[in-house]
A and B are shown apart, each in its own frame.
Chain A
Amino acid sequence: MNAFFAIIHREVLLVLRRKSEALTVLFFFLIVTSLFPLGIGADVALLRKIAPGVIWVAALLSTILGLQRLFASDYADGTLEQMALSPTPFVLLVGGKITAHWLLCGLPLVFLAPFIGIQFDLDLETLRTLILALLLGTPILSLIGAIGAALTLGVRGGGVLLSLLVLPLYIPVLIFGAGAVFATSAGLDVGGHFSLLAALLVLAIAFAPWATTAALRIAIE
């Protein structure tokens, strides 16, 4: 277990030394969400309606941006191979990296979201649902995205290919996450949405680290 936390500690330290890497993801999130009102017009009622979808899609895209860095630098300097050869189970170390990715790329989105929600004139109840849904959803995005990052490691055109592979897999999270926010704004019950999101999270935690580890081994050998 120590190795797991050691990896997280390492990842956080590395990013803190190059803060720009994590900050660019957040700025991307802010900019993309601002584009929609600029493109569609400032009709408040309309913005309130599209807010769940816009914020969630921006979250998906921002997560994918952050995924490209997940394994790339360790792969390039041989650290990933060392991790694979170490006595600690590789899957544990990979799990640590994914958790760190969520802490650095996903959790900040959860904190930023309410401010964007206010820009789109969402009420308090809806904002609360938004935060909770993103809290459940962003780990799923990191977990599934890690599989894609591992598969496209060191591959030509990796960034765009990663998006093509991962975005279809993100669709259920998008549907339930944005659906939950939309339901709250319409005054409907969100129990179902959250149960489904939680189920997806459990599934992702159960399978994604293993799939990612298998894909990494294929990339390394």
Chain B
Amino acid sequence: MNIMHSSSSGRYLNWFSFSSPATFYPLAARLTPFFWGLSILFGIVGLWISFFVAPADAVQGDGYRIIFIHVPASWMSMVIYMAMAMWAALGLIFNTRLSAMMAQALAPTGALMAFLSLWTGAFWGKPMWGAWWVWDARLTSELILLFLFLGFMALQASIDDPRRADKAGAILALVGVVNVPIIYFSVTWWNTLHQGASVSMSKAPAMAHTMLWGMLLMTMCFWMYTIALALMRVRAIILERESHSDWVKTLKELRA
């Protein structure tokens, strides 16, 4: 009996027996509150550090506090894309529906994280460097990542047959994952070529210890939130897609 262990990146243990939607559905329900609890805990401590422990920056004053949202959102958008591609690949290799549903469940959160990264980037850039948008390498790459998420979601939404949508989405996600480093490299190259304004998001304030802790804790908060939300969303997806199976029809919560 094979046991697939998760790596240390926050994914849960996943035995093959749990790869059937019927057994995973109740498991997800039990896990969800646990991750919400962790998210709230990390969030409270993270926000406390962001606002009440980290001192004002010498150059950027209190405006720099936006990094406590901006950096975690950027990191999460990339982590989610990797996780999404991984689940999609697993679904393709092992032909498991649940893995593909997991990828589907992660995509919207990933897109929103990318959007949040861009939004906070703009609101950070405006007071600091005078422009709502700068074509800095990391912001531009983040924009392209948003397009990749939207493309994945659009492709799945346009294909009627769910299994075909799963597999096509998986191929797209894998092609995307190979391209992300290439895109990032090319955008960095482009940015150094066309050195217009010499502004860069990476000219963040020199990291004090507390700032790093704040960012780390907020990242953990977003991570636990993502997992909790993905578990909730995948349960809805399972109900939508498995509606004709016996185990769904006999679910307690569906007795009118």
Contact = CB atoms under 8 A, between A and B. Distances in A.
So, do A and B actually touch in the complex, CB under 8 Å? yes
B158 A207 contact: no
Contacts of A207: 178
B70 interface: no
B81 to A, nearest CB: 12
B158 to A, nearest CB: 5
B212 interface: no
A164 B150 contact: yes
Contacts of B190: 175, 179
B151 to A, nearest CB: 4
Interface stretch (B82-90, B181-189, B239-247): B181-189
A72 interface: no
A158 B154 CA distance: 10
Interface string A198-221: 001001000100010011001101
A71 interface: no
A44 B192 CA distance: 26
Which of B151, B158, B171 has the most chain A CB atoms inside 10 A of its CB? B151
What range describes how many residues of B lie at the interface?
A: 20 to 34
A151 B155 contact: yes
B47 interface: no
Contacts of B171: 147, 151, 211, 214-215, 218
A218 B187 CA distance: 32
Interface stretch (A4-12, A56-64, A77-85, A165-173): A165-173
A185 B178 CA distance: 32
B151 A155 contact: no
Given A168-B147, A215-B168, A175 B187 contact: yes
A169 B179 contact: yes
Contacts of B176: 169
A157 interface: yes
A171 B147 CA distance: 12
Interface in A143-190: 147, 151-152, 155-158, 161, 164-165, 167-169, 171-172, 175-176, 179, 182-183
Interface string B136-153: 000000001001101100
B164 interface: yes
A88 B150 CA distance: 36
A169 B171 CA distance: 13
B172 A164 contact: no
Given A151-B172, A156-B158, A215-B171, A168 B183 contact: yes
A126 B148 CA distance: 33
A164 B176 CA distance: 13
Interface in B10-27: none
Contacts of B185: 172
A171 B186 contact: yes
B182 A200 contact: yes
B159 to A, nearest CB: 6
Contacts of B158: 152, 155-158, 161
B247 to A, nearest CB: 27
A207 B175 CA distance: 9
B182 A172 contact: yes
Nearest to A207: B178
A161 B148 CA distance: 12
Contacts of B97: none
A176 B186 contact: yes
B167 interface: yes
B186 A147 contact: no
Contacts of B151: 164-165, 168
A218 B174 CA distance: 15
A215 B172 CA distance: 9
B193 interface: yes
Contacts of B148: 168
Contacts of A200: 182
11 contacts: A151-B172, A155-B158, A155-B159, A164-B147, A168-B144, A168-B151, A169-B179, A171-B186, A179-B189, A203-B182, A215-B168
Given A169-B175, A172-B185, 8 more contacts: A155-B159, A158-B158, A161-B154, A167-B147, A176-B186, A176-B189, A218-B164, A218-B168
Interface of B: 144, 147-148, 150-151, 154-155, 158-159, 164, 167-168, 171-172, 174-176, 178-179, 182-183, 185-187, 189-190, 193
